[in-house]
Amino acid sequence: MAFEPKRISELDLLTSIASGDLFPIVDISDTAAGTTKKTTINDIVTAISTIGISASAITSGTIADARLSSNVTVQGNTFNGASQLVQLNASTQLPAVSGGNLTNLNASNIASGTIANARLSASVTLQGNTFNIPSALVQLDGSLQLPAVSGSQLTSLNASNISSGTLSDARLSNNVMFKTKIVTTISTSGNTNLTNALTDSWFVTTHTTGTVTFTLADAPANTAGSYFRVLTNSNQQVNIVTGPSTTIYYFMGSVPGGSSFTPAAQRGRVIDLYCVSNNTFIMTGDLM
């Protein structure tokens, strides 16, 4: 069929392109400038891929991901969700997402908030910053001294470290003689009524013959807290007698009312009599 030239506006619109379809093209490299030749769609695509095309010429459609280089991120434009990219906020801060997988964090960069106790190691003391009250830690004062708190639970205290203050008499043993104690020296045999003596009285026997007798007669004065000490400074006999309602208890038994107790005569004996209730005494010391 003879080809009849038509204006472009007179041509029918092509609805599909097959690889074998022919297209007219002007070959400007031909010696006969402006010569019109034919080509196929495959040749046109091959030619375009060879000579390149400016991206600015692409004004519509969508480029397939396969046509993009590996430098292009193809993760879409929805962020901060599972398996999505993270987008900083307007203050260049990370959004509220979990940082549980982060490593090599620098504690020096923690500038706000509070670290939970569970995140601290067992080496960190979790007793707060209130001190010197019940169940709290003790804080030394500015002079490295303990505060005014009770030390009643302390053990293994060294008396050599007591360098100031005054030790209460109650903290001293009965072997210590106080300046205020009433010490009576008994140099002759006979009877001494302890009931008439002031409490915390000491008696030192120095008699050389006979027996010195100490009597604990029944009396209201013999109340809890009364205390007497007998020290033998001779080898002569000492005898302790009780009133009818006065009883003395010691580790071997008791001295009932109206009876007596006589330790073996020996210099250097210490016998203590301590009243625990009305007319009832505990006896300790060198009794045998």
Rounded to whole angstroms, the Cα distance separating 214 from 186 reads 11
**248 assigned to some structural domain:** yes
Q: List the CATH number of the domain containing 224.
A: 2.60.120
Which of 265, 261, 247, 250 lies closest to 205, judged by CA? Answer: 265
Interstrand relation of 190-193 and 211-216 (parallel, antiparallel or unpaired): parallel
Rounded to whole angstroms, the Cα distance separating 219 from 242 reads 11
Q: Amino acid letter at 140? A: L
Percentages helix, strand, coil for the chain, rounded to the nearest 5? 10, 25, 65
Phi, psi of 70 (to 5 degrees): -70, -10
- In order of 96, 104, 106, 107, 129, the CA distances from 111 in angstroms are 17, 17, 11, 9, 20
Rounded to whole angstroms, the Cα distance separating 130 from 139 reads 9
Rounded to whole angstroms, the Cα distance separating 241 from 255 reads 8
| Residues whose CB is less than 8 angstroms from the CB of residue 240 and which lie 6 or more positions away in sequence, other chains included | 213, 214, 215, 216, 230, 248, 255, 260, 261, 262, 271, 273, 283
CB atoms within 10 A of CB 201: 18
Residues in the chain: 288
Specify the pLDDT at position 57: 80
CB 111 within 8 A of CB 105: no
At which residue do the structure tokens 């903290």 appear? 171
Q: Amino acid letter at 253? A: G
- Average pLDDT along the chain, 288 residues, taken 10 residues at a time: 58 69 66 64 72 78 88 90 93 92 91 90 89 92 92 90 83 63 80 69 85 81 75 87 89 88 84 85 84
Is residue 132 packed enough to be buried (19+ CB in 10 Å), middle (13-18) or exposed (0-12)?
middle
**10 assigned to some structural domain:** no
Specify the pLDDT at position 180: 56
Specify the pLDDT at position 86: 93
**64 assigned to some structural domain:** no
**171 assigned to some structural domain:** no
Q: Amino acid letter at 257? A: G
CB 206 within 8 A of CB 185: yes
Domain of 31, in residue numbers:
20-51
**191 assigned to some structural domain:** yes
Specify the pLDDT at position 170: 72
* Number of domains comprising the chain: 2
Rounded to whole angstroms, the Cα distance separating 44 from 90 reads 48
